[in-house]
Structure 1
Amino acid sequence: MSRRSRRAAVLLFLAFVVMPILEIVVLIQVGQAIGPWWTILLLVLDSLVGAWLIKREGRRAWLALREQVETGRLPHRELADGALVVLGGAFMLSPGFVTDALGILLILPVTRPVFRRLLVSYAGRQVVRRANDTRPGPTVVRGEVIDEQ
């Protein structure tokens, strides 16, 4: 199994086994602390606030992206912000407090720069790695130099 396949398997395991178990544990803990009806109300309010936040920050990211493109500048920061808002929105769509908290952290303009730096760093490493994997090596011609002076 290649390193890439192992990484994908670990990510899938975390996403489909560990995360749902963690969400259930947190949901039960919150339900026991504040009661089931308050827990349901909190989840609904969390979803409403998340939807509003996604709409607001998504619009801001889109407008910033358009402005950069229209002025002829590279929109690298704006593209990263847009990707983080979309990813945060996906987390907000899944039920539970843990994914909602992560989604809000990705969406909030105060915490997004931290995740943007992580995303840009990761993307940069991937570009360099893939460029090194696909770049052909130098052509070497074996021979002998003859000086005819």
Structure 2
Amino acid sequence: MFFHKTKDIITLFHKAGSPASVRAVAVLKQASANASQSATEDQASDHSHQTHAQRSEFDLNVTEDPPTTDQLQTILEYVGQNKIKSVVSGANTVTEALKTFKESPDSFKRPVVVDWNNGKAVATESESEILKMVNELSK
């Protein structure tokens, strides 16, 4: 019997006017297209033993809304203590970040890419960092 695992969900917290955020959308759309293309190829020719690691398909959710407080807390856990300031301007701890964000939602830096299923997030303008996160999750 053959079961399909549900697709992972990757969310991009996007800012339309930001060149870095616009690039992140392009990078993620390309990665998504590549993943679904390779999934189709895999189904066409049965590779029971995959030799190359390719990202499995994922659903891309692009939003311009700020995260909810719960989502932000999760994102901060995913990025880790030393990267909190890359997510919320001027914050060094989760408590500071949540307080700053509550007072000023604009303190949330975009783009932020979150892979909810695999517990990873990157707040970066670096396309290679985004691709690294996306491609790491193929296993």
Asked whether the two chains share a fold, i.e. TM above 0.5, the reply is no
Higher relative contact order (CA 8 A, sep 6+): 2
Structure with the higher strand share, 1 or 2: 2
TM range (shorter): 0.3 to 0.5
Q: Whose radius of gyration is greater, 1 or 2?
A: 1
TM-score with structure 2 length normalisation?
Answer: 0.35
